[in-house]
Amino acid sequence: MKKVTNPNYLQHTLNQPIHFIGRGLHTGKHVSMSLHPAAADTGYVFRRTDLAPPYNVVPARWMTVTETRMSTTVGNNHGVSITTVEHLIAALFACGVDNCQIDIDGPEAPIMDGSAKPFVDQIVATGLQQQEKPRMALVMKEALWVNDGNAKAGIVPFPEPWMDMTIDFQSRAIGRQNIAMQLNQENFSECISAARTFGFAEHVETMKTLGLAQGGSMRNAVVVENDMVANPEGLRFDNEFVRHKVVDAVGDLALLGVNIVGCFVGHCSGHRLNNQLLRTLMYKEDKWALTTLEDAIVNWDSIMEDDKRQGWQSEF
Ligand SMILES: [Zn+2]
């Protein structure tokens, strides 16, 4: 393999550990969480410091997702789990942190202000260190879709990582919103990371009965009540809701463990469908090619051409 020189194509980890304290959105538990540098090819690995080793380790990957109701939970075979990982993972991925060990003394990542921005700000302030191994990428050669009623999620061939998200809520406070953008650190930091999670006042009682949203408040979520935004400070963006759905999708898709060179298209998709898309993708090997991120971006045309030639040959 030839030596990669462009830092965008190499793996990175954090320069220094970063510490966060906060409360879980769903469990309401106060937690202390530290992000640590990790070796190349580690990916994102949680370690529950309130539990004894060796069963307290949980890699955050598409196949370790155990629950997708209201948030994304990862767990291991010993019943150890961490919930609401998606905003943290989105921030790590979008800021270019490929490898990170996450120590946490409770069952849920802190919700902070409901967005990915507090994580992004600290990661950017701390800085990254370059590692020797190349970043890998899955190049989408043919579209793949999964759906659930009106909700739909897919990845279609595109020469760089893109997101195209649409939501459609009956509530007049939200309605139909769409955002399409290149997925890179600058766009994520400036346009996406500050968008907060949201919920409906009429669902709060049911969620609390189900043990969810125990730590939820207008300090860490946008609350929609009677077709109005109840938060006195209002919204951070006119279309904050769809922007937050991009945070969620970036975090959910980062659990693939490699970059995706293609356009993610989500229509009312959430954590469950996002994870189902990755699980389906893994069984459809004819729809993608795995290569280095550099090869995927620089030689995208020829990767797609190779596929067409193969298709042409198989017809005759
Ligand atoms: Zn979210």
Per-residue pLDDT, 313: 41
Beta bridge partners of 108: 83
Q: State mean pLDDT over 7-21.
A: 97
Band of the pLDDT at 2, cuts 50, 70, 90? low
> For ligand 1, a single-atom ion, which residues have Cβ within 5 Å?
197, 248
Mean pLDDT, the chain, whole residue set: 94
Give start and end residues of each alpha helix (H) in 132-239. Answer: 185-187, 201-209
Per-residue pLDDT, 176: 97
Per-residue pLDDT, 80: 98
* Long-range CB contacts for residues 236-240, cutoff 8 Å, separation at least 24: 236/115, 236/194, 236/195, 236/196, 237/191, 237/194, 237/195, 239/177, 239/179, 240/195, 240/196, 240/198
Neighbours of 134 (CB within 10 A): 20
User: Which residues form the catalytic set?
Assistant: 271
For residues 105 and 133, is the Cβ–Cβ distance under 8 A?
Answer: no
Distance CA 97, CA 40 (A): 10
Per-residue pLDDT, 316: 34
**Which of residues 216 and 15 earns the better pLDDT score?**
15
Spacing, Cα 105 to ligand 1 middle (Å):
21
- CA-nearest of 238, 239, 240, 218 to 230 is 218
Looking at domain 7-315, its CATH class is alpha beta
**Which of residues 229 and 4 earns the better pLDDT score?**
229
Q: State mean pLDDT over 102-130.
A: 98
- In the chain, how long is the greatest CA-to-CA distance? 66
Q: What is the pLDDT of residues 209-252, one digit of tens each?
A: 888 888 888 999 999 998 999 999 999 999 999 999 999 999 99
Domain ranges within the chain, ordered by starting residue: 7-315
Neighbours of 211 (CB within 10 A): 10
Distance CA 304, CA 275 (A): 26
Distance CA 230, CA 232 (A): 6
Percent of the chain at pLDDT > 70 equals 96
The CA distances from residue 142 to 46, 249, 263, 285, 288, in Å, are 33, 20, 11, 10, 7
Helices vs strands, H then E, count in the chain: 8, 21
> Model-level pTM?
0.95
Spacing, Cα 5 to ligand 1 middle (Å):
35
Q: What is the pLDDT of residues 260-310, one digit of tens each?
A: 999 999 999 999 999 999 999 999 999 999 999 999 999 999 999 876 545
Q: What is the pLDDT of residues 63-92, one digit of tens each?
A: 999 999 989 999 999 999 999 999 999 999
Spacing, Cα 316 to ligand 1 middle (Å):
49
Spacing, Cα 216 to ligand 1 middle (Å):
12
Neighbours of 310 (CB within 10 A): 12
Per-residue pLDDT, 310: 52
